[in-house]
Amino acid sequence: MLLSPLPTAASWTHRGVRVGFEVLFAGAGWLRGRTSAREGGATWYVGYDITVDADWATESVHAVNSTVSGDLEVVLTRSPDGRWTVNGVARPDLDGCRDVDFESSAVTNTLPVHRLPFVPGTAVDVPAAFVQAEDLTVVRLEQRYTLTSSGEHGHVFHYESATFDFECELTFDASGLVLDYPGIATRDR
Mean pLDDT taken over the chain? 96
Q: Say if residue 134's pLDDT is above 90.
A: no
What's the number of domains the chain is made of?
A: 1
Q: For residues 144 and 123, is the Cβ–Cβ distance under 8 A? A: yes
In the chain, which residue ranges form alpha helices assigned H by DSSP? 110-115
CA gap 75, 119 in Å, rounded: 33
The whole-number pLDDT of residue 18 equals 93
Q: For residues 32 and 16, is the Cβ–Cβ distance under 8 A? A: no
Q: Say if residue 189's pLDDT is above 90.
A: no
- Residue 4 maps to a domain: no
What is the dihedral angle through the alpha carbons of 182, 157, 92, 90, rounded to the nearest 10 degrees? Answer: -60
- Residue 30 maps to a domain: yes
- Residue 3 maps to a domain: no
- Residue 1 maps to a domain: no
pTM of full prediction above 0.85 = yes
From the list 52, 60, 113, the residue with the least C-alpha distance to 84 is 60
Tell me the per-residue pLDDT of 144-153, one tens digit each, with 9 for 90 and over: 999 999 999 9
Higher pLDDT, 1 or 55: 55
Residue 112 confidence class, pLDDT cut points 50, 70, 90: very high
- Residue 146 maps to a domain: yes
Residue 125 confidence class, pLDDT cut points 50, 70, 90: very high
From the list 130, 137, 177, 141, the residue with the least C-alpha distance to 7 is 177
Tell me the per-residue pLDDT of 51-80, one tens digit each, with 9 for 90 and over: 999 999 999 999 999 998 899 999 999 999
CA 35, 125, 56, 9 torsion-angle sign: negative
Q: What average pLDDT score do residues 8-28 get?
A: 96
Query: DSSP E strands: which ranges in the chain?
Result: 9-14, 19-27, 30-39, 42-52, 58-67, 70-78, 84-86, 89-90, 99-102, 123-125, 128-131, 138-141, 143-151, 154-161, 166-173, 178-181, 185-187
The whole-number pLDDT of residue 106 equals 94
The whole-number pLDDT of residue 2 equals 81
- Residue 2 maps to a domain: no
Domain span at residue 123? 9-187
- Residue 176 maps to a domain: yes
Share of the chain above pLDDT 90, in %: 93
- Residue 123 maps to a domain: yes
